[in-house]
């Protein structure tokens, strides 16, 4: 079965030029991810004759959140297969818990399954983003600096904690997942470790007013991703007082410029923020998948 699932995944990404699919490393990465989910599966549904779709509901361990529920869909583009996936997700929905997430390319499935996407995944070329974004003057009193001083690390940790506590819909964790003291402690440690590792490599930026940190932007660089090669995830978080003032646009421009300097080929990220979605489209980044969670309703 797993060979058929690998085939479906390769087919789903075949039209996306950023994926490096013609290598053994790529196929192995896809196979390893599938095997991990199958090994921890609590439900597996397959449309056979030959295999045209599969839905795998698993329990995986997260460093930050503990054991979480992950769903994986592999599906052909056939109308019958897509309809089958929608029905299967709807049937499994009573088993979904607040930690449930699903990354899905086929957005048309979601309303049929009674689900909706909270975030979208985007990929794009840093060079194209840099070409489309012109330098932008910052509001008076603000400046952007590279993260290079360890004393700013705890300020960034506190800034991100406050932003995503006040606006949980903007965060990477589902608003339905209880943000316990233990989870917050792990999340802070995860952010702190990333900041410490990034000191002096020029991949993280701060927005400062005087010495107060009001914004952060960073790259999570991967040089040898088996599917995307040299790439980076991008993240930006701004204090409410400096949003919608062009600061985010300038941060994205600087991240793109740094990626070009580092010869990184793919800019990746996911967002629930409409302003970031608009900016992603302006930069030429293309939507690649829907990030699905259970909604409050």
Q: Higher pLDDT residue, 166 or 93?
A: 93
Confidence of residue 198 (pLDDT cuts 50, 70, 90): confident
Dist CA 8 CA 223 (whole Å): 26
Q: Do domains 2-114 and 124-287 have the same CATH topology?
A: yes
Residue ranges of domains in the chain:
2-114, 124-287
Quick one: pLDDT at residue 209?
96
Helix boundaries (H) for the chain: 2-13, 24-39, 79-92, 109-113, 126-132, 153-166, 181-198, 247-261, 274-282
* Res. 297: pLDDT tops 70: no
Q: Which CATH number, 2.40.10, 3.40.50, 3.40.630, 3.90.1310, labels domain 2-114?
A: 3.40.630
Angle at which helices 247-261 and 274-282 cross, to 10°: 50
* 41 neighbors 57 (Cβ within 8 angstroms): yes
- pLDDT tens digit sequence for 85-124: 999 999 999 999 988 999 999 988 999 999 999 899 999 9
CATH of 124-287, one of 3.40.190.10, 3.40.50.300, 3.40.630.30, 3.40.1360.10: 3.40.630.30
Q: What is the pLDDT of residues 123-140, one digit of tens each?
A: 999 999 999 999 989 999
């Amino acid at each position: 079965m797993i060979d058929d699932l690998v085939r479906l995944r390769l087919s789903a990404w075949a039209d996306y030029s950023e994926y490096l699919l013609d290598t053994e490393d790529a196929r192995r990465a896809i196979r390893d991810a599938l095997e991990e989910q199958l090994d921890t599966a609590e439900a597996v549904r397959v449309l056979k004759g030959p295999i045209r779709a599969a839905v795998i509901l698993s329990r995986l361990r997260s460093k930050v959140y503990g054991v979480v529920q992950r769903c994986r869909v592999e599906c052909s583009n056939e109308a019958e297969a897509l309809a089958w996936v929608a029905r299967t997700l709807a049937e499994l929905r009573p088993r979904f818990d607040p930690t449930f997430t699903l990354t899905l390319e086929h957005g048309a499935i979601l309303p049929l399954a009674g689900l909706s996407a909270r975030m979208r995944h985007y990929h794009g070329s840093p060079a194209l983003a840099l070409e489309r974004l012109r330098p932008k003057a910052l509001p008076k009193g603000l400046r952007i600096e590279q993260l290079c001083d360890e004393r700013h690390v705890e300020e960034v940790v506190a800034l991100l904690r406050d932003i995503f506590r006040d606006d949980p819909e903007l965060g990477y964790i589902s608003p339905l997942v209880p943000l316990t003291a233990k989870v917050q402690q792990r999340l802070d440690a995860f952010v702190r470790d990333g900041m410490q590792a990034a000191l002096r490599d020029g991949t993280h930026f701060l927005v400062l007013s005087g010495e107060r940190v009001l914004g952060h932007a960073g790259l999570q660089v991967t040089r040898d991703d088996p599917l995307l090669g040299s790439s980076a995830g991008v993240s930006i978080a701004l204090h409410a007082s400096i949003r919608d003032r062009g600061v985010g646009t300038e941060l994205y421009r600087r991240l793109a410029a740094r990626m070009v300097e580092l010869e990184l080929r793919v800019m990746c990220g996911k967002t629930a923020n409409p302003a970031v979605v608009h900016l992603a489209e302006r930069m030429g980044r293309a939507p690649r998948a829907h990030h699905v969670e259970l909604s409050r309703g």
